[in-house]
Amino acid sequence: MSNPRADAENVPVRMVRPDLLHLPDAALPPGLTIHPLRDGEGDLWTEIIRQAEHHGLVRDDLYEREFGFDPRAARERVYFATDADGAAIGTVGAWYGTEEFASWGRVHWLYILPGWQGQGVGRALLSFTLHRLAELGHNRAYLTTSTARLPALRLYMNYGFLPDLAYEDTEAAWRRVAPGLNHPALNVFLSRTR
């Protein structure tokens, strides 16, 4: 049985970046590199998500459900950050949108292993991904996340993403997390929606 209080505090949300102009640059920490996903690395991708995910169950078939239907695109759009020894420490997808977001780029599954969080790897992967989406011809970007991920929400807002209030009527959820985030862009955005 789910806990209604926990569910209310971890609401799925969508964020949008209306353009891919003036993209911020953030370098990886020294010794780290980025490489595209190679054939056979789906299980590695899933394991990174499993180790970094604190808000839900990670199924064994997650990679197949998210990227397996388009392996060519996965090789061009899914990336790993690796340490100096070549071990994967994070992942992100510079994916494509669907349905009403078909022309948009999607920041998809940005995850960093816990031991590497807070060291600039997420910033660097997000910067890399936004630049990659622009290279792939997208002129806007979106992502989905949830309100329990305050550091991620803050990072995304620092990189120009704002709430998409049309997504599943989430304005109340954004108002609940606003004090904890205390992000100027969110505060201004929410003040304009009253």
Among the listed residues 125, 154, 130, the one whose alpha carbon sits nearest the alpha carbon of residue 141: 130
* Res. 8 pLDDT band, cuts 50 70 90: low
Residue 6 has pLDDT above 80, yes or no: no
Residue 9 has pLDDT above 60, yes or no: yes
Residue 4 has pLDDT above 50, yes or no: no
| Non-local CB neighbours of 30 within 8 Å, separated by 6+ positions | none
Q: Do residues 140 and 17 lie in contact, with contact meaning Cβ atoms separated by under 8 Å?
A: yes
The CATH class of 4-191 is alpha beta
Query: Average pLDDT for residues 48-61, to the nearest whole number?
Result: 94
pLDDT score at 91: 98
* Res. 168 pLDDT band, cuts 50 70 90: confident
pTM over 0.85: yes
Among the listed residues 170, 177, 176, the one whose alpha carbon sits nearest the alpha carbon of residue 150: 177
Residue 162 has pLDDT above 90, yes or no: yes
Q: Do residues 139 and 96 lie in contact, with contact meaning Cβ atoms separated by under 8 Å?
A: no
What are the pLDDT digits (tens) for 65-102? 999 999 999 999 999 999 999 999 999 999 999 999 99
pLDDT score at 5: 40
The average confidence (pLDDT) of the chain is: 94
Cβ-in-10-Å burial (0-12, 13-18, 19+) of 78 comes to: buried
Query: Average pLDDT for residues 160-188, to the nearest whole number?
Result: 93
How far apart (Å, rounded) are the C-alpha atoms in residues 76 and 94? 8
Q: Which two tokens stand for residue 181?
A: 């985030």
What are the pLDDT digits (tens) for 114-146? 999 999 999 999 999 999 999 999 999 999 999
Domain boundaries, the chain: 4-191
Q: Which residues of 165-174 are buried (b: 16+ CB within 10 A; e: fewer)?
A: bebeebeebb
Residue 186 has pLDDT above 70, yes or no: yes
